[in-house]
Amino acid sequence: MHRVDLARWADEVLTDLPDDARDEVFMLIDAVADVPGPWPVGMSAAFASSCWVTFVVHGDVLEVLDVGWAG
C-alpha cells in the first residue's frame, strides 16, 4: 500500500459528504492505493459506482487531488 495524502480541497469535500458516501470514497482510495505499480504518469482518475477520485503519484505517495459523489 502506498501512503495517501489528501489535498485540502479533497479533504473539504469529504467532510461534507454523508457517512456512507465518505466510506465509499475511502474504499475507492484504498483500492487505488493497493494497486501494484507501475503507476500512471500525470493526473489520473478512478471510478466506483457512485464516486470518483483524481490523483497523482509522487514516488510512493498517492496524492488525492479531488473527490466526487454522484449519489
Q: What would the grid cell of residue 31 be?
A: 483500492
What CATH number labels 3-36+43-69?
Answer: 3.30.2310.20
Q: What would the grid cell of residue 40 be?
A: 500512471
Q: What is the pTM of this model?
A: 0.89
CA quadruple 46, 53, 32, 64: dihedral sign:
positive
- 47 DSSP β-pair partners: 52
pLDDT tens digits, residue range 2-61?
Answer: 789 999 999 999 999 999 999 999 999 999 999 887 888 899 999 999 999 999 998 889
What pLDDT is stored for residue 71 in this prediction?
A: 78
What pLDDT is stored for residue 67 in this prediction?
A: 96
CA quadruple 3, 7, 9, 15: dihedral sign:
positive
What is the domain partition of the chain in residue ranges?
A: 3-36+43-69
